Every structure is written in structure tokens, then in C-alpha cells.
């Protein structure tokens, strides 16, 4: 039961020995975070954006709202990770941040419910501001939850703890959202859905109080503002690269309007894939050089680990994020809120397969190698995306969703366990907070660049691009080495 001092890296004792239920106390907040995220991102926010701005530009406006909210999340999570590393609260390093984030999120969810009664661009900009605040609040909590395994769990048990994390982070909340939250939204009961999410957050707050942290016994160094300035620079650089990539893609879209249909699809698809790939690779590389400086050079595997995570999550997160719009385009019977039901069923199938694969993945990650599982996960997700795109019926889409879910189930435990081995233990909060380039960047890259592609062409083309981005994630694995730095 070890964590590490910032200055000496000597072991620190937890408040008590780890017990069987700490698999859940350490990881339960992931259930709350994902329940909140899978309610807002793929269902509530797309439907409200569609309500406010209309059909023709819904992809672009959804991309815009996600870009700026996620860049705020990126900055907040990295900053809160650094601050929690320095915390000497009698409640522990991380718990005060978890509780604060949950309390703020509860307030914002109430305001989002009230915003649904607005109309037009007024409603859109109010929603924009509230979603922005929601991302700030949730990432205070998220940043403090991320380092808990690295803080408290011995290395030989991190695979299993990461497996439990993956189950609570993905399949269980996805199933909960499918069976409870989305049904309320399909029936027009937005308030019931939001109150359900708020109830989960309150339970998480109470469970998080049982995390076996104690007050750290180190004295933090004097606060250095240089890392904060680096974080601002990192966020600005990543945002600029995403904006620049999107601008180039939009130029290509405008230049191809007079071409034949097949040529347009090939050119726009190639430009979209190139734009997302540049944003992923160059965005991570340049951002980490700014935020970590010489530490990034000394930990090059961390860079490729983040690139791998970002590429995989661009595909996984945005398949879900645009699924409502994809179904509305592909099937005439699923218009408006009617798409929420089948979209949530797809999410449920993904969740079930994650549930079936996440725990075996944690076990396998400790035995056959985490890098091999990352390759397998990328291949499964890419193949599943192809099935979804080509599916003639909703039933076949469910099959593709199961393949993607299996890939995600293998990916999360293997990737996170690998990351906890790569990051310097005395700065786990800082490094894992910065790794949110992948979590926040995925929605920003995939939605902002992808939204205009879908509006001008189709959501089938956009989903195809996400399939190729899974392949990019596979290519990055070969440069991730354990034991560096």
C-alpha cells in the first residue's frame, strides 16, 4: 500500500491497509463520471443542439460546443492534477477535489435542465456556457480520481484494480444509461434523466469519503507558476492545431462542391483523416513539449502512449457522440428524439461487451502484455466500425457495436495499467492529468473537425474516418516502451 513523496519518493502509508472493497471505493467515482458523460455527450447535448440550431448545421455547432468545453476540461484536469499532487489536506491528497467537483456538477446539471426551455441561438449559447462549466466541474473530480491507483495500489495488483476501474468506468454506467436514463429522455422526461444522474453523483460523493487516504507527511516545494503557464501554452497550442486542421479540411470541402459525388467522398474523406491524424500526432507531441519541457524528452514513451490513447478515443468517443445523428441519417424512422432509444441500445451492447472483456483484459494485461492487448483492441474496434457503417439493419449495427465494445473493453484496462507504469510515480497526478490530452482531445478533434464533414457530406463518411483512426492507434504501439525514464 504505497504512494510516494514528492521530494524523496519514499513510501507513504495509506490510512489503513487495502481491503477487498477498496477495489470499489478507489474506483467508484468512474461510474459517476461516465454516467454523467454518457448522458450529456451522446444524448442530451446533441438533442438540445439540434433543437436550438436546426438540422442543417447541427454537426458543426455540436463540434463547436464540444471543442471549447473539452479544451477547458483539458486545462482544468491538468491543473487540478498538479494541485492535488501538492495537497496536504487532512482528508488526503485527492478526496477534497473529488467532493468539490461533484458538488459543483450538481448545480450545473440543474441549470442545464432549466436551459431546455429556451429557444434558438439564445438557448444554444446558454447551453454552451453551462456545458463549459460542467466540464470544468467534472474535471476537478476527474483529475483527482485518476492518480488513485498509482497512489495507493502496489504494482502487482494494478492490473486487477485497472480492470475494476474499466468495469465501473464503462460497461456498468453504459448499461445504466441505456436502461434508465435514455428511456426517460425518449419519453420526453429530461428532468427525470438529470435527477437520476444527480443521484449517482451523490452516491459517489459518499463512497469517495471512504477512500483510504491520509494526510501526506511531505512539505510541498514553493509553488512554481511556470508549470501553470506551460499548461496554458499547451492548451493554446493544441487548440490552434485543431482549429488549423479543421480550417484546411473546410477549404477542401469548399473546393470539392462541384465535383462528382464519388470524388467528393474520397477527397473529403482523405482530407478529414489527414486533418485528424495531424491534430492527434502533432497536437500531442507539441503540447507535451510545452507542458513537460525536458521531461517529455526523457519520457518519450509517455508521448506515444498519449497519442495511442487519443487516436483510439477519437474513434470510440465520437462513434457514440454522433450516433444519434448517424441513426437519424441512416433510418427514416429514427428522427428527433426517436433516435435516443436505439442509440442507447447500441451503447448498452457496447457496455455489455466491455463488461465481459474488461476483467479478463486486466488479468491478461498482467500476464501476456499490455501492448499486445492495445493492438488487439484497435483491430477489433476498426472491424466493428466497418460493420456499423455497412450494416443494412439495426440488428447488424448491434453486432458491430459488440465488436467495438470488445475492443474498448480490452483497451481501457491495458492502456491504464501501462500508463501507471510509464509515468514517474512522484508526479503521477501531473502526468496523468496531462494525459487528458487524450480524453478531452478525443471529443475536440473528432467532433470539431468531423462535424462539418458530416454536415456537408454524410455521417457514414465521418464514421469511416473514425475507423481508420483506430488503425492509427495500432501504429503507435510499437514506440511505447516500459521502464523508460
pLDDT of 249 strictly over 50: yes
DSSP string of 105-173? HHHHHHHHHHHTT--HHHHHHHHHHHHHHHHHHHHHHHHHHTTHHHHHS-GGGHHHHHHHHHHHHTHHH
For range 78-104, the mean pLDDT? 86
Cα separation, 29 vs 165, whole angstroms:
9
Mapped onto helix, strand or coil, the DSSP state of residue 4 is strand
Find which of 257-266, 375-384, 428-437 is predicted with most confidence, using mean pLDDT. 375-384
For range 275-283, the mean pLDDT? 96
Q: Which domains does the chain have, with CATH numbers?
A: 13-215+225-479 (1.20.1250.20)
Q: Which pLDDT does position 59 carry in this prediction?
A: 94
HSE (side-chain half, CA atoms, 13 Å) at 138 = 31
Q: Which pLDDT does position 270 carry in this prediction?
A: 95
pLDDT of 26 strictly over 80: yes
Q: 388 or 56, which is more confident?
A: 388
DSSP letter at 12 equals: E
pLDDT tens-digit map of 449-461: 999 999 989 999 9
Q: 45 or 423, which is more confident?
A: 45
pLDDT of 482 strictly over 90: no
In order of 57, 151, 301, the CA distances from 454 in angstroms are: 9, 42, 34
Q: What mean pLDDT, rounded, does the chain reach? A: 87
Cα separation, 259 vs 252, whole angstroms:
11
Cα separation, 355 vs 30, whole angstroms:
14
pLDDT of 465 strictly over 80: yes
Helices (H) and strands (E) in the chain, counts: 23, 2
172, 359 contact by CB (below 8 A): no
For range 401-419, the mean pLDDT? 90
The position carrying cell 524523496 is 8
Q: 201 or 211, which is more confident?
A: 201
For a pLDDT cut of 70, what percent of the chain falls above it?
94
Question: Which H or E run contains 83?
Answer: helix 58-86
Q: Which pLDDT does position 13 carry in this prediction?
A: 46
Mean pLDDT lowest for which of 68-72, 152-156, 413-417, 433-437? Answer: 433-437
pLDDT of 116 strictly over 90: yes
Q: Which pLDDT does position 413 carry in this prediction?
A: 83
pTM strictly above 0.85: no
The three cell numbers of residue 161 are 484494480
CA dihedral 367, 371, 373, 374 (to 10 degrees): 160
pLDDT of 260 strictly over 90: no
pLDDT tens-digit map of 283-294: 999 989 998 888
Burial class (CB in 10 A: 0-12, 13-18, 19+), 473: buried
Amino acid at each position: 500500500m504505497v504512494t510516494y513523496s514528492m521530494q524523496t519518493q519514499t513510501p507513504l502509508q495509506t490510512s489503513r491497509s487495502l481491503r477487498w472493497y477498496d477495489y470499489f471505493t478507489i474506483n467508484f467515482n468512474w461510474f459517476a463520471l461516465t454516467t454523467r458523460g454518457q448522458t450529456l455527450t451522446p444524448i442530451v447535448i446533441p438533442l438540445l443542439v439540434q433543437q436550438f440550431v436546426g438540422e442543417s448545421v447541427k454537426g458543426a455547432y455540436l463540434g463547436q460546443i464540444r471543442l471549447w468545453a473539452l479544451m477547458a476540461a483539458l486545462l482544468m484536469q491538468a491543473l487540478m492534477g498538479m494541485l492535488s499532487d501538492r495537497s496536504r489536506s487532512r482528508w488526503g491528497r485527492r478526496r477534497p477535489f473529488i467532493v468539490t467537483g461533484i458538488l459543483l456538477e450538481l448545480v450545473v446539471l440543474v441549470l442545464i435542465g432549466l436551459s431546455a426551455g429556451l429557444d434558438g441561438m439564445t438557448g444554444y449559447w446558454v447551453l454552451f456556457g453551462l456545458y463549459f462549466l460542467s466540464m470544468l466541474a467534472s474535471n476537478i473530480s476527474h483529475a483527482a480520481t485518476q492518480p488513485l491507483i498509482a497512489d495507493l495500489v502496489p504494482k502487482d495488483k494494478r492490473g486487477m484494480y485497472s480492470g475494476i476501474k474499466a468495469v465501473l468506468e464503462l460497461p456498468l454506467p453504459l448499461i445504466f444509461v441505456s436502461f434508465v436514463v435514455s428511456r426517460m429522455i425518449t419519453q420526453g422526461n429530461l428532468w427525470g434523466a438529470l435527477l437520476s444522474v444527480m443521484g449517482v453523483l451523490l452516491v459517489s460523493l459518499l463512497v469517495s469519503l471512504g477512500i483510504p487516504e491520509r494526510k501526506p507527511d511531505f512539505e510541498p516545494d514553493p509553488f512554481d507558476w511556470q508549470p501553470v503557464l506551460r499548461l496554458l501554452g499547451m492548451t493554446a497550442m493544441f487548440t490552434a492545431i485543431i482549429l488549423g486542421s479543421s480550417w484546411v479540411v473546410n477549404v477542401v470541402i469548399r473546393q470539392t462542391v462541384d465535383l462528382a459525388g464519388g470524388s467528393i467522398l474520397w477527397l473529403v474523406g482523405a482530407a478529414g483523416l489527414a486533418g485528424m491524424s495531424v491534430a492527434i500526432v502533432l497536437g500531442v507531441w507539441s503540447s507535451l513539449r510545452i507542458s513537460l519541457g525536458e521531461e517529455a524528452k526523457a519520457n518519450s514513451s509517455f508521448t506515444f502512449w498519449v497519442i495511442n490513447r487519443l487516436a483510439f478515443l477519437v474513434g470510440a468517443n465520437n462513434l457514440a457522440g454522433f450516433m444519434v445523428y448517424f441513426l437519424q441519417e441512416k433510418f427514416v424512422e429514427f428522427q428527433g428524439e426517436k433516435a435516443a432509444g436505439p442509440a442507447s441500445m447500441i451503447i448498452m451492447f457496447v457496455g455489455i461487451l466491455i463488461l465481459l472483456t474488461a476483467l479478463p483484459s486486466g488479468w491478461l494485461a498482467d500476464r501476456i502484455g499490455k501492448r499486445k492487448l492495445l493492438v488487439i483492441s484497435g483491430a477489433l474496434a476498426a472491424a466493428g466500425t466497418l460493420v456499423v457503417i455497412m450494416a443494412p439493419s439495426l440488428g447488424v449495427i448491434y453486432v458491430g457495436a459488440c465488436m467495438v465494445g470488445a475492443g474498448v473493453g480490452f483497451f481501457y484496462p491495458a492502456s491504464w495499467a501501462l500508463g501507471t507504469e510509464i509515468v514517474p510515480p512522484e508526479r503521477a497526478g501531473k502526468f496523468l492529468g496531462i494525459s487528458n490530452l487524450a480524453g478531452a482531445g478525443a471529443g475536440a478533434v473528432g467532433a470539431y473537425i468531423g462535424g462539418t464533414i458530416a454536415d456537408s457530406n454524410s455521417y457514414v463518411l465521418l464514421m469511416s474516418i473514425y475507423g481508420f483512426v483506430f488503425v492509427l492507434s495500432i501504429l503507435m504501439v510499437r514506440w511505447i516502451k516500459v521502464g523508460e525514464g
